[in-house]
């Protein structure tokens, strides 16, 4: 992408992010929908709109590696921030007997109509802080590269809602960029912290606290980055460890003042992307 387009897209995202951050809670859902409609209208070269078929297939393969272990044994699955529903459509072919559902607060332009989805996939336009399903509806819930786009004040509600719609001992899997190696949005190169539509980039430590406070108990993390795990042909999603072990490493890396060294070491130690798998508490 040319530099002038990057600068223009950054200015647009920065202004839209300010609108979202300052939106009152009661108007936040409507604001999110308006903001993303505005983004796609003004930034018509946005990756969400221009991603090639090969890139979309690669993304589906990454999701399959990260979450396939839980999906294969689940009778019902919910994806939050489902976007164009590419992954759910693929899963429907593999698992025609599973109940698959997706929600997204802002309808993806690539998802032209819910009727184009397989019969066992249901898409609903809804906010993640008010999931439109009954208690205990799903065995597995996941979201990928979504949490960083939420208003920070809504994230505890989101996690509590996920716990609510999960069945007893169900699992919640998600991935999101780590703040200590960021920013990971378009503001990288412009500001030291995310100021685009990544409204907040999180750390392992912050997310573990939120999970334990909002209905989850066992929390596991990847010990090997996904790309390395695939190269080594390890069983998906790679070895898992207690998330607290990642926090100990994260704290040490966060103390490094030199940004380039901190980012490099964070990538080498598997901190660049946060992958967490949390089991719902019994209630």
Q: How confident is the model at residue 232 (pLDDT cuts 50, 70, 90)?
A: confident
Q: Is the pLDDT of residue 120 over 90?
A: yes
The per-residue pLDDT of the chain, averaged, comes to 93
Q: Is the pTM of this model over 0.85?
A: yes
Q: How confident is the model at residue 114 (pLDDT cuts 50, 70, 90)?
A: very low
Question: Is residue 40 domain-resident?
Answer: no
Question: Is residue 266 domain-resident?
Answer: yes
Q: Taking the alpha carbons of 130, 131, 133, 136 in that order, is the dihedral positive or negative?
A: negative
* pLDDT for position 112: 56
Question: Is residue 218 domain-resident?
Answer: yes
- Number of domains comprising the chain: 1
* pLDDT for position 160: 96
Question: Is residue 135 domain-resident?
Answer: yes
Question: Is residue 49 domain-resident?
Answer: no
Could you read off the pLDDT of 129-140 as tens digits, one per residue?
999 999 999 999
CATH code where residue 273 lies:
3.40.50.150
Mean pLDDT of 137-149: 98
- Rounded CA gap, 250 and 10, in Å? 28
Question: Is residue 14 domain-resident?
Answer: no
């Amino acid at each position: 992408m040319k530099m002038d387009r990057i600068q223009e897209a950054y200015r647009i995202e920065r202004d839209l992010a300010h609108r979202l951050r300052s939106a009152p809670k009661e108007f936040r859902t409507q604001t999110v929908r308006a903001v993303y409609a505005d983004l796609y209208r003004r930034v018509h070269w946005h990756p969400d709109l221009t991603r090639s078929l090969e890139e979309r297939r690669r993304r589906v393969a990454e999701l399959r590696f990260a979450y396939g272990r839980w999906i294969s044994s689940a009778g019902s699955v919910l994806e939050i921030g489902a976007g164009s529903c590419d992954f759910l459509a693929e899963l429907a072919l593999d698992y025609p007997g599973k109940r698959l559902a997706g929600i997204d607060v802002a309808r993806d332009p690539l998802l032209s109509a819910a009727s184009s989805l397989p019969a066992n996939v249901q898409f609903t336009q809804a906010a993640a802080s008010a999931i439109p399903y009954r208690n205990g509806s799903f065995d597995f819930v996941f979201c990928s590269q979504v949490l960083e786009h939420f208003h920070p004040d809504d994230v505890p509600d989101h996690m509590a809602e996920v716990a609510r719609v999960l069945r007893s001992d169900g699992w919640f899997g998600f991935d999101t960029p780590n703040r200590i190696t960021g920013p990971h949005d378009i503001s990288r190169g412009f500001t030291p912290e995310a100021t685009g539509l990544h409204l907040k980039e999180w750390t392992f430590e912050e997310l573990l606290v939120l999970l334990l406070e909002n209905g989850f108990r066992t929390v596991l993390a990847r010990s090997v980055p996904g790309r390395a795990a695939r190269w080594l042909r390890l069983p998906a999603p790679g070895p898992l460890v207690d998330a607290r072990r990642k926090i100990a490493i994260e704290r040490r890396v966060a103390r490094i003042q030199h940004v380039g060294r901190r980012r490099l070491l964070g990538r080498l130690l598997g901190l660049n992307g946060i992958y967490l798998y949390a089991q719902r508490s019994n209630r």
